A and B are shown apart, each in its own frame.
Chain A
Amino acid sequence: MRNKLANRLLACSIIFLLFVSFTNFGAFAQSKEEAEQIIQEASDKLKTVLSILEELVDINSEVRAIISQVDNSLQLINEAKQLFRDSQYDLSIQKANQALDQLENIEEEIAELNKSAIKESWLIYSIIGVVAAFATVGFVFLFIKKLHPWYKKKQIEEYSNLEIIYDKEYGEK
């Protein structure tokens, strides 16, 4: 009777241990997958942000500050990759998520910068347009003012040199 009980207890404990270890293994595998996925997401975001930054023509102090933030995110991603290689998946997820959040904020910052740059460029182009229009009007006015009297003078000179000759032969016919 005691033996039976002991056997049952042993069997139950083995089943319990197997259940616990499988559950843990499942969770472990899940965090590995999750870490891999978030690292990939963060790396893709970094490349997107980098390509947006490469398109910026004016690299002023604001952009330079953004570049150092992007570099900071890169270091976080690389730390996450190292932690992943060391099988520290939870820490790896934490670092990759931190990088991803940072990069999303940076993307928004760049979008804001671009908006203000577009506004500034519109203002500059509008001013240039108005100035150019005035310059054109002035130029045309001066051109006509100078050229028209000269043309009239020339015309009068040309006509004053003309002489009317009556064709007698034609008149007789």
Chain B
Amino acid sequence: MAKKNNKSDGRNPKKRLPKIDQNKIVTLVIVFCTIGAIVAITSIVFFPNQQNGFTELSLLTYNAAEETYVANNYPNQISQSDNVTIFFMVKNFENKITYYQLQIKVTKISQNISLEHPLSLSNSKLLYSNETYEKILSPATKSEKEEEGAQTGQYIWGHVNTTLFMNNTLATILEGDDSLKIVFELWKFNSLIDDFQYSGIFTFLELSYN
């Protein structure tokens, strides 16, 4: 038995549009759907909500005339008889629950501050004990992230009234200098190491000391 094409019988074949192979189309659709489903499931299961977040730390002063907190008019001097009042505010945009600790340290004005390492206690002194400023904050919601200049909310820690002071013990770190730096370092609790870790987020005030 052999096959014979009837196109070779001398008649002119009709001009036809190229036939679409339905089988191929269906196969392609199934393959794409399967690949898409695998990618979607993998991304949902293994990489849930991996958006990188951030934390905002700011120092504020109180403007009594306008009854608002402002990021200016910072104090510029401190003495043993004259304390300084300042407010700090922390906003959690980390996309997760975060347990913060704020450490306030006094150091020499010439001391460099690093993003990777906190100030060591050999060249700085803690103003308050470690537990004084600690807070657990909810992450900001999508609508809260879009708010501008929000001052209150479950993702905000503040405005926290802080008294900066100096005494003879703290003054020893200055070695006779007449100016100093007060550094506000933000630490975050890391469940894996079961301790606080320096976040690299800091701000500072430069003050003259007499």
- Asked whether B23 is an interface residue with its Cβ less than 8 Å from the other chain, the reply is yes
Q: Tell me the bound Cα distance from A2 to B147 in angstroms.
A: 89
Q: Tell me the bound Cα distance from A150 to B84 in angstroms.
A: 87
| Contact indicator A161/B22 (Cβ below 8 Å) | no
| Contact indicator A67/B1 (Cβ below 8 Å) | no
Number of A-B contacts (CB under 8 A): 63
Q: Tell me the bound Cα distance from A167 to B85 in angstroms.
A: 112
Known: A59-B97, A161-B5. A47 touches B191 (CB 8 A): yes
Q: Tell me the bound Cα distance from A78 to B132 in angstroms.
A: 7
Interface residue from B2, B23, B137, B191 paired with A54 (Cβ < 8 Å):
B191
Q: Tell me the bound Cα distance from A165 to B99 in angstroms.
A: 88
| Contact indicator B4/A162 (Cβ below 8 Å) | yes
Q: Which of A28-87 contact B (CB under 8 A)?
A: 47, 50-51, 53-54, 57, 59, 63-64, 67-68, 70-71, 74-75, 78, 81-82, 85
Q: List the B side residues contacting A63 at CB < 8 Å.
A: 138
- Asked whether B65 is an interface residue with its Cβ less than 8 Å from the other chain, the reply is no
| Contact indicator B2/A165 (Cβ below 8 Å) | yes
Q: List the A side residues contacting B172 at CB < 8 Å.
A: none
Interface string of B85-105 (1 = CB under 8 A from A): 000000000001101000000
Q: Tell me the bound Cα distance from A30 to B186 in angstroms.
A: 37
> In the complex, how many residues of chain B place their beta carbon closer than 8 angstroms to a beta carbon of chain A?
27
Q: Which residue of B is nearest A85, CB measured? A: B129
| Contact indicator B4/A71 (Cβ below 8 Å) | no
A contact residues, range: 20 to 34
Q: List the B side residues contacting A172 at CB < 8 Å.
A: none
Q: Tell me the bound Cα distance from A101 to B143 in angstroms.
A: 34
Interface residue from B1, B48, B132, B194 paired with A47 (Cβ < 8 Å):
B194
- Asked whether B3 is an interface residue with its Cβ less than 8 Å from the other chain, the reply is yes
Interface residue from B3, B6, B131 paired with A78 (Cβ < 8 Å):
B131
- Asked whether B63 is an interface residue with its Cβ less than 8 Å from the other chain, the reply is no
- Asked whether A163 is an interface residue with its Cβ less than 8 Å from the other chain, the reply is yes
| Contact indicator A50/B131 (Cβ below 8 Å) | no
Interface residue from A57, A59, A68, A81 paired with B131 (Cβ < 8 Å):
A81
Interface residue from A59, A67, A81, A161 paired with B136 (Cβ < 8 Å):
A67
For the complex formed, measure the closest distance between the CB of A11 and the CB atoms of chain B, giving whole angstroms: 47
- Asked whether B189 is an interface residue with its Cβ less than 8 Å from the other chain, the reply is yes
List 18 interface pairs A-B (beta carbons < 8 Å), by A numbering: A47-B194, A50-B97, A50-B189, A50-B191, A57-B49, A59-B97, A63-B138, A64-B138, A67-B154, A74-B135, A81-B131, A82-B131, A146-B22, A147-B22, A162-B3, A162-B4, A163-B2, A164-B1
Write the residues of chain B forming the contact surface with A, with a CB cutoff of 8 angstroms: 1-6, 22-23, 26, 48-49, 96-97, 99, 129, 131-132, 134-139, 154, 189, 191, 194
